[in-house]
Amino acid sequence: MLEGRAIRRNLLSVLLVLLFVAGLYLVNLFWMRPWSLDHYLAKELVLDAMDSPESLTYLGLVDGMNWLTNHQSELSIYTPEELDQDLVELRQHRLLLDSFDNEFLSQAQQITKKIAIFEAENYAELLERFPYHDYPLNQISGNHLNIIEFLNDVHPIRDESEASAYLDRLKMLEDSFAGTLAILKEQSVRGIFPPQFVFVHLENQINDFLEQPLTENPLYSVYVEKLDELDLSEKRKQEYASKAGALIEGPVNSGYRGLLEYVLTSRQYANPYDGVWSLPEGDDYYALMLRMRTTTDYSAEEIHQMGLDEVERIEARMSALLIELGHSVEGGVGEAMNTLNELDRFLYEETSDRKSIVIKDYQDLVSQSWERVTVHFERMPEAEVEVRAVPEYSEQSQAGGYYQSPSLDGSRPGIFYANLYDVKQTPKYSMATLVFHEAVPGHHLQIALNLENSDLSLYRRLGYGSTAFSEGWALYAEALAVELGITRDEYDELGVLQSELFRAVRLVVDTGIHQKRWTREQAIDYMKTTTGMSDSEVVAEIERYIVWPGQACSYKVGALKILEQRERAKQNLGDQFDLREFHSLVLGHGEPPLFIVEELIDRYIDQKSASL
């Protein structure tokens, strides 16, 4: 595997020479020139991408040169040795960043340097102190799930060579799982195991995969569907399908059985506690997770109180709106919203064409939102956004919706996936806010504009991404839509407020579990009582926060920070404040940490004030 990594790096050197001959030569001669930081980070980014065949496939930029890179036939294999090597490289990288003198860097490059140092220091601490504190296999992510989504949704099959490459990747799956097992073994030596419920989910998920008939296996059925779209003879298509079936029933299933054996033999050691406070140096680990996820220095206690304050504010507005619409709030906002969710007027009928009807309604909402927000932005993305149903093989375990960014080469649009598994999961009053969050003016507008921003360096466009910024923007976009009057009625606003309440509750329960030592049951009770969500929804959410500590805090912290900076700019600039300018400023710098957003607004206020 290391040999393959070296080969890819050598091949990349050829590409870099072809693409950046003059630039790289001068970087070597004049390391401290103003543009050298961008070239250095671009080089590192491309090298990292070459070490990740999945990243190259996702970007789609070098698919045409697969004859050279061979990335479409490979999968990453992560091992403990890889983690050790990553730490060595991170330390070297951090020292190199310090060698770039700010005196010779542009303002944009100084920001880039701050971001790169922030990222390097966090990941170096993570790899040095907590390399095995996460849960590589869990109920919502891990090789056993990610590989299916990647091969079905990302790996392209546009011709025979890509159909053949798919088979090569199936052959590698067992080795990829072996790498995961090696990391799990190192983790077990340190006495780190997930809670019992994780083992229960893993056993069910892996058994479901192994027990399903071949024709229903998503790695087979989706592959056959894509083969049918190719201009190949029926005999040739059958040959490829047969090879896929043999691989799935052979090495692929063998790999899954290896994971299942780990689950069955290790569940006796399950962590009796739910929060990461129970792990070695768990409080420090959680503080690092909060810093990485929120890109702030807020303590767990501050975030917990922030959540409580927001819950109180949002509940007050929802209560007033519900009463205005003639609904009782005697049992609390959560109960009132739960009752609302049962009303037939807000639900689609369970007909054979329900999914196609809902997708069309979602697409219409996207079009309407796009048209109405355009006036409030100086630029709109060129890439379009398409609405699709979450694939059936994953809809039971997926969120209500999620977004996949467009490819850089323009061959794939942005995609908003809507989960249509349960009719009650799509009440009509909640559809608009999901569009605002996942599509426009949320994820698609922000991410597509970032990818299309030619003024940004490669590292700023693709190398660093802040969940606090991207998810914060998407949550800000929901509130913005209400402010701009894009909602159709008060029920749409209730949908937005319900979404906002949900994110505020996350601050409370995430910190409650991981810092205040709440049990899984305590967190479930608080979330169910406050939001009125169903038992199954609440359990799935709480279990997600347990295995992804701190991640759920990024949404609300990010949105509050963007709103805070907008209000600060308004107060300082008065009539000179321009919402379109503010949006361009916030969206024009990639997905920066929130402390960078504050610095950008500082500079914006100073510059505008000086011109008055």
**Strands 385-389 and 414-418, bridge-based pairing:** parallel
d(CA 37, CA 202) in angstroms, rounded, equals 44
* Residue 62 pLDDT grade (very low, low, confident, very high; cuts 50, 70, 90): confident
Sheet holding 385-389, edge to edge: 385-389, 414-418, 401-404
Percent with pLDDT over 70 in the chain: 94
Angle at 177 between CA 173 and CA 182, to 5 degrees: 150
pLDDT band at 397 (very low <50, low <70, confident <90, very high): low
Cα-atom radius of gyration of the chain, to the nearest Å? 25
pLDDT at 493: 97
| 35 has pLDDT over 70 | no
The three-state DSSP-derived secondary structure of 520-577 is HHHHHHHHHHHHCCCHHHHHHHHHHHHHCCCCCHHHHHHHHHHHHHHHHHHHHHHHHC
Position 610 confidence tier, pLDDT thresholds 50, 70, 90: confident
Residue 23 has pLDDT above 70, yes or no: no
Tell me whether residue 231 is exposed, middle or buried, using C-beta atoms within 10 angstroms of its C-beta: 0 to 12, 13 to 18, 19 or more: exposed
Rounded-to-integer distance, Cα 576 and Cα 60, Å = 43
**pTM, 2 dp:** 0.89
Burial class (CB in 10 A: 0-12, 13-18, 19+), 494: buried
Of 2-6, 214-218, 336-340, the least confident = 2-6
Count of Cβ atoms closer than 10 Å to residue 404 Cβ: 21
Q: Quick one: 473 exposed, middle or buried, by C-beta within 10 A (0-12, 13-18, 19+)?
A: buried
What was the pLDDT predicted at 412?
Answer: 85
pLDDT of residue 292: 97
- How high is the pLDDT of residue 410? 77
Tokens 């507005």 map to which residue? 317
Q: Is pLDDT above 80 for 20?
A: no
pLDDT at 153: 86
Q: How far apart are CA 478 and CA 435, in angstroms?
A: 9
pLDDT for 61 beyond 60: yes
**Among 357, 311, 361, 319, which Cα is nearest to 337's?**
319
Mean of all residue pLDDT scores within the chain: 91
Helix (H) or strand (E) holding 93: helix 80-98
The confidence band for 250, taking pLDDT boundaries of 50, 70 and 90, is very high
Tens of pLDDT, residues 222-232: 999 999 999 99
Average pLDDT over residues 598-607: 96
CB proximity list for 526: less than 8 A, separation 6 or greater: 505, 508, 509, 512, 518
pLDDT confidence tier of residue 13, bands split at 50, 70 and 90: very low
Instruction: Put residue 532 in one of left, alpha, beta given phi > 0 → left and psi -120 to 50 → alpha.
Output: left
User: Residue 139: pLDDT above 70?
Assistant: yes
pLDDT tens digit sequence for 94-123 = 999 999 999 999 999 999 999 999 999 999
Cα 563–chain centre separation: 22
pLDDT tens column, 146-200 = 999 999 988 999 999 999 999 999 999 999 999 999 999 999 999 999 999 999 9
**What is the average pLDDT across 205-230?**
96
Q: What is the pLDDT of residue 8?
A: 38
Q: Is the pLDDT confidence value at 25 over 50? A: no
DSSP per residue, 575-600: GG--HHHHHHHHHTT-B--HHHHHHH
Whether 58 has a pLDDT exceeding 90, the answer reads no
Residue 11, token pair as written in the block = 């091949």
For the segment 80-91, the average pLDDT, to the nearest whole number, is: 94
The pLDDT confidence band at residue 4, using thresholds 50, 70 and 90, is very low
Mean pLDDT value across residues 285-293: 98
Instruction: For the chain, report the end-to-end CA distance as a whole number of angstroms.
Output: 61
Report whether pLDDT(348) > 60. Answer: yes
pLDDT-above-90 percentage for the chain: 82
pLDDT at 6 over 90: no
Angstrom distance (rounded) from CA 476 to CA 7: 44
